[in-house]
Structure 1
Amino acid sequence: MALLLDSFWRAVAYLLRPRVIALSVLPLVLTIALALGLGWFWWESAVAWVRGLLDGSDWATPLWNWLDGMGLARLKAALAPLIVIFTVTPLLALVSLLVVAMLMTPAMVALVAERRFAQLERRHGGSLFWSVLWSLGSTLAALLAMLVSMPLWLVPPLILILPPLIWGWLTYRVMAFDALAEHASRDERQAIFRAHRGKLLAMGVICGYLGAAPSLVWASGALFAAAFLILVPLALWLYTLVFAFSSLWFAHYCLAALAELRQQAAPAPQAPAPGPADALALPDESEAARPLDAPSAPAAPR
């Protein structure tokens, strides 16, 4: 428990470092850059295509008539750009998050290793190929568990327990593997997974609940269209911040557990072999304290 709390507070403190703050705003920069680039080349054609699709749809005719009756005919011209914005923005945000997620975990592990575990040997137990394969396998297993457990969600308490447990399991599998991929060997990684499975799962569940907070902001942006362009970037930044915290927490915990594992496995220091100087050592104290033999009495005359 001490290691869990120590790594938690260290992860919170590391969020204030300039490198972490720069990475947290990177998805916003990527999203804006992608939006400007796509808007420069395809904005007018996309809006025209959506407007033509609306004009040619029979289901939209009652909507246009209702808007005309309410005196909101101008809203018809603004509807096509709004549809394009509402459709493209989440896709751009998702792409930016995926790009940053690929860069953030190695960057956070490197930051923690540089500042706390510079002397920790790198044994390269997981390559990029195995990391991708591990993530895909864990994701498929989590999706399968979600599908199988869906009928149980009808039971009121289980819907609050099963999904967080499944996604917490997925989070700890992916995050812990990436945190140990560079420094731990395969056997060391398996040993840490066995010894710390319960705490790693608890960390994954907590990170899963923290990741639900940006979803509420995202949903608010979908409900309140006027604040969409403000709430969506805020949700995007919160997503990245939660991901950075999760990476830092698992990096601190796993690398500290690895250092402790190696310290326990290190052989105990042996006493040095006696050298030449030991031959000149003083006699034992018991011998030194022993009184000298008294001189013998002279022989009696015959």
Structure 2
Amino acid sequence: MTPVFEALSRAFRDMFQFQVLWIIIWPILAAGLLWLILGVAFWNTFSVWIASGLTAIGIQTWLEGVEPRWIAYGIQGIAHLILFVPLVFVTALVITALFAMPALIRLVAIRDYPSLARKNGGGFAGSVLNALLALAIFIAIWVVTFPLWLIGVGVIIPFVATAYLNQRLFRYDALAEHASREEMQAIFSTQRPSLWVLGLLTGLMQFIPFINLVAPVLAALAFIHFGLFRLSELRGLEAGP
């Protein structure tokens, strides 16, 4: 697991570079603004969905009898917040993977992997397809495992789902510029356990207040370092410091 922790260590180091600061901020701002607009535009629709979910678990009926009513409205407001915060972070992850990765890859590659040739095994279309597939399976994990919440095992679902999403989103984009398709498949296959561990560790940071604000870019940097280091090993090259 040394390459996993080495990748995380280098990612933390890179977070303090001036060039990274704006990349940290704008995906969260963009995701927050997007869901603010959608939330205002479709407030009634989201309210109906939330009410249906609360009804399914038996809370909505209880809320209808709560007095004073402002307490019930407050609980419903918290339910909206609980829904929107994860949506903002997941959207920020996707925005980072699709649009911020090229700048981060250039920053890392120039300094730490200057001799690593680019073979362009992936492209933007592949990134979009990969992101859509990752999101579809991420949602499916939540839907299929929903009954586990009823028996108390559901507490592990957010961590498993986030670990999957992180490793699926970022492993492709981290290698798309430098690796060939064959090299990408080789690394995905041989490094699957390490990629899952890295996905889990970066996913855990999304549940820590304040750290979760920088978690998307931190995850991106960690997967870039891990992917390019493994690619250097595959090609028999020596990575930079």
Tell me the TM-score normalised to structure 2 length. Answer: 0.68
After superposition, the CA RMSD in angstroms is: 3.2
Determine if contact 1:112/1:251 at 8 Å carries over to the other structure. Answer: yes
- Tell me, which stretches of 5 or more residues in structure 2 are unaligned? 41-68, 71-76
Aligned residue for 1:24? 24
Are 1:126 and 2:99 an aligned pair? no
- Tell me, which stretches of 5 or more residues in structure 1 are unaligned? 39-45, 47-65, 68-82, 215-234, 265-302
Aligned residue for 2:192? 197
Equivalents in 2 of 1:30, 1:143: separation in Å?
A: 21
Aligned residue for 1:4? 4
1:208 CA drift (Å): 1.5
Aligned residue for 1:210? 205
AA matched with 2:108: V
AA matched with 2:186: A
AA matched with 1:148: V
AA matched with 1:163: P
Distance 1:195 1:99, change over 3 A: closer
Equivalents in 1 of 2:31, 2:146: separation in Å?
A: 34
Percentage identity across aligned positions? 30
SS of the aligned residue for 2:109 comes to: helix
1:191 CA drift (Å): 0.8
Are 1:188 and 2:175 an aligned pair? no
Determine if contact 2:96/2:217 at 8 Å carries over to the other structure. Answer: no
1:211 CA drift (Å): 0.8
Equivalents in 2 of 1:118, 1:252: separation in Å?
A: 13
SS of the aligned residue for 2:145 comes to: helix
AA matched with 2:139: L
Aligned residue for 2:154? 159
Equivalents in 2 of 1:28, 1:165: separation in Å?
A: 22
Are 1:256 and 2:229 an aligned pair? yes
Equivalents in 1 of 2:31, 2:147: separation in Å?
A: 38
Aligned residue for 2:107? 111
Equivalents in 1 of 2:28, 2:157: separation in Å?
A: 32
Equivalents in 1 of 2:31, 2:191: separation in Å?
A: 38
Equivalents in 2 of 1:192, 1:259: separation in Å?
A: 11
Distance 1:161 1:259, change over 3 A: same
Determine if contact 1:26/1:100 at 8 Å carries over to the other structure. Answer: no
Q: Which moved more, 1:199-208 or 1:238-247?
A: 238-247
AA matched with 1:201: W
Equivalents in 2 of 1:169, 1:29: separation in Å?
A: 24
Q: Which moved more, 1:16-25 or 1:110-119?
A: 16-25
1:94 CA drift (Å): 4.5
Distance 1:212 1:31, change over 3 A: closer
How do residues 59-78 of structure 1 correspond to structure 2 at under 5 angstroms? none
AA matched with 1:261: L
Equivalents in 1 of 2:31, 2:132: separation in Å?
A: 25
Aligned residue for 1:272? none
1:2 CA drift (Å): 1.9
1:190 CA drift (Å): 0.9
1:99 CA drift (Å): 5.2
Structure with bigger gyration radius: 1
AA matched with 2:204: Y
